Amino acid sequence: MFLFLSKLIPLFFYPMGATCLLLVIALVLRWKKSRLTPAFISAALMILFLSGNTWVSNGLAQSLEWQNIPKGELPTADAIVVLGGGIRSKAYPRPDVDFSEAGDRVWYGASLYRAGKAPKIIVSGGRIAWKGGGKPESEDLANLLVTMGVPKVDIILEGESMNTRDNGVYVQKILKANNFKTILLVTSAMHMPRSMAIFKHLGIKAIAAPTDYRVSQLELDEPNLQIESVILSLMPDEEHLAVTTSAIREYIGMWVYKVKDWL
């Protein structure tokens, strides 16, 4: 039940959910001929305008993504841990497993392995029954790693976890069973602050190896280059709306995990 509620309740705090909620309230108030109707409609529009704004989305993303930028070359470790996410299951009409926005996690994990940063890769991720079910996500991740040149014998699967806290708990068991002391933790840069906090709270010696940066210096500079860029950046955009939503999801997740003493 906690897993379901943890997915449901935050929806009303994301830009689209909050906008829909405000518009529903506005419809009810309009039916009751309330003078407050314009205020709720205005609030809904303001949420969409701000959350789709380039500077707002870039600022929120940077506040998370730039927290764990590696200072110099990453050191070697006992294992590379790649957290689940970034793929879509093979299902009709997809010919195979597809990469999503966060698919860089798999590629970067394989790249670190080929660079000799660790002799083993642990892929962590299960599959929620009411979100498609089927085999654990870690199996799909492992198959992709093999196609990228990682020997199957060097891949360890963790297919029980349903959230980031589970990732840490189940990975910790694998680390203890194999006497691994240090890991390179690979996940999306925006997801890294929460992931690192969880792993460190569990006593795991994790070194951040972030990837999938949604905002680089290029994206920060672009809106200010010319008047055309400024005008376009002021207009709400679905891509920036998605980035803002992802950032808000992380902040809500950190707050909930903090309340539950998981961080």
Contacts 24+ apart (CB under 8 A), 138-142: 138/84, 140/87, 140/89, 140/90, 140/97, 141/82, 141/84, 141/87, 141/106
Please report the pLDDT score of residue 130 as a whole number: 55
Calculate the alpha carbon distances from 153 to 90, 121, 178, 207, 217 in Å.
23, 10, 14, 23, 39
Instruction: Report the top-level CATH class of 79-208.
Output: alpha beta
pLDDT at 51 > cutoff 80:
yes
Q: How far, in Å, CA of 233 to CA of 167, rounded?
A: 37
Helix (H) or strand (E) holding 207: strand 205-208
Distance from the first to the final alpha carbon of the chain: 21
pTM: 0.92
Neighbouring C-beta atoms of residue 181, cutoff 10 Å: 11
Please report the pLDDT score of residue 191 as a whole number: 98
Least confident piece of the model among 15-29, 118-132, 138-152, 191-205? 118-132
Binned at pLDDT 50, 70 and 90, residue 92 comes out as confident
Show me where the domains of the chain are located.
2-66+226-259, 79-208
Task: Note whether 215 and 27 are within 8 A (CB).
Answer: no
What is the rounded average pLDDT for all residues in the chain? Answer: 93
| Average pLDDT of the segment spanning 142-146 | 95
Q: How far, in Å, CA of 170 to CA of 160, rounded?
A: 7
Q: How far, in Å, CA of 107 to CA of 121, rounded?
A: 12
